Amino acid sequence: MVNKMRESIIMKIHYGTALAAVALVAVHILMRLTQGFAESLEYANVIANYQFLPYAGMLEIILILLSIHGFNGLRVILLELKQGPAYEKAVSYGCVAAMIGLIAYGSRTIFMVNMGMV
Amino acid sequence: MEPRDENKEGIGGMINPRRYGIERVAYILMRLSGLGLLAYFIGHIYETSSILKGEVGWAEFLELTQTNEGHAVLAIVIGMCVFHTVNGIRVMLGHGGVGVGKPARPDYPYIPASQNSRHKMGIYSAIVLAAIAMLYGLAVMYGE
């Protein structure tokens, strides 16, 4: 499926995830600057951030957007470097697997802290 | 039969900044900043997972980032982030046909219409904004 998707569609997804991520990451950074930088990173503050459902939802969306954008960018760079059916398939599936792994790992943190499992 | 030169320079050709002017430099910086940001993103996901170890685990990991080296890395990440964003918007506009000039008959010296002053200004703006953001980031990190 990854190999059959048209590059033009993949690039639209790449640009769409980039624009959405820019807006949401800006909110994420501004949250660090609403208080002092060091103060905002204190344990209690960070836990409170994670347990505020809209913010946790935003973190989850950022995680998904940046994982898609980042690993597709890596795929593009690797495909610029070398081509070939087996290589392209390995790179595409490898990047999708890494993307799913990172989303799963990051989601685990968000869900566990949000549900008070710390 | 002579072996066909496929002009495959590999990674050396890909990272050679000497040809094609500032556009080539932007191409390299875009890829380097992209790879750097992906590495930081993976590290950031791992770093934030230390909150699951409780207050002590969080404080221990945070301590690693609250050093001069940590601040320097974060300043570089800010610079990469701003450059990648601003240059990325320029590239997107270019792909959409914005600011690439009108199609015209190719006359000597065959200067591509797309490599015009508007896009060059975009690249230089991305570099300058990245530098300003890095300085602001350092001011915030050391201003505590």
Provide DSSP, chain B.
-PPP-----HHHHHH--SSSTHHHHHHHHHHHHHHHHHHHHHHHHHHHGGGGGHHHHHHHHHHHHSSHHHHHHHHHHHHHHHHHHHHHHHHHHHHTTTTS-------TT---TTSSHHHHHHHHHHHHHHHHHHHHHHHHHH--
Q: Which DSSP category does A100 fall into?
A: H
- The larger pLDDT score, comparing residue B69 to residue B15, is at B69
Nearest to B52 among A33, A80, A118 (CB): A118
Nearest to A102 among B45, B51, B140 (CB): B45
Nearest chain A residue to B10 by CA distance is A81
Question: Residue A4, SS3?
Answer: coil
Nearest to A37 among B55, B88, B141 (CB): B141
Max CA pair span of chain B: 70
Pick the CATH number of A7-114 from 1.20.1300, 1.10.600, 1.10.10, 3.40.50: 1.20.1300
Nearest-CA distance from B123 to chain A in Å? 18
pLDDT over threshold 70, residue A20: yes
Contact A43 B58 (CB under 8 A): yes
As a whole number of angstroms, the distance between CA B39 and CA B68 comes to 20
Which residue do the tokens 């015209």 mark?
B104
Q: Which DSSP category does A35 fall into?
A: S
Contact A106 B45 (CB under 8 A): yes
> What average pLDDT does range A26-37 have in this prediction?
85
> Which residues 6+ apart lie within 8 Å of B141 measured at CB?
A37, B71, B74, B75
- Residue B6: per-residue pLDDT: 64
Question: Residue A117, SS3?
Answer: coil
As a whole number of angstroms, the distance between CA A71 and CA B128 comes to 27
Task: Using a CB–CB cutoff of 8 Å, tell me whether B88 touches chain A.
Answer: yes
Question: Residue A115, SS3?
Answer: coil
- The larger pLDDT score, comparing residue B101 to residue B88, is at B88
Whether the CB-CB separation of B120 and B22 falls below 8 Å is answered with: yes
Nearest chain B residue to A16 by CA distance is B92
Structure confidence by residue, pLDDT tens digits, A53-107 = 999 999 999 999 999 999 999 999 999 988 899 999 999 999 999 999 999 999 9
pTM over 0.80: yes
Residue pairs spanning A and B at CB distance below 8 A: 69
Structure confidence by residue, pLDDT tens digits, B17-59 = 777 789 989 999 999 999 999 999 999 999 999 999 999 999 9
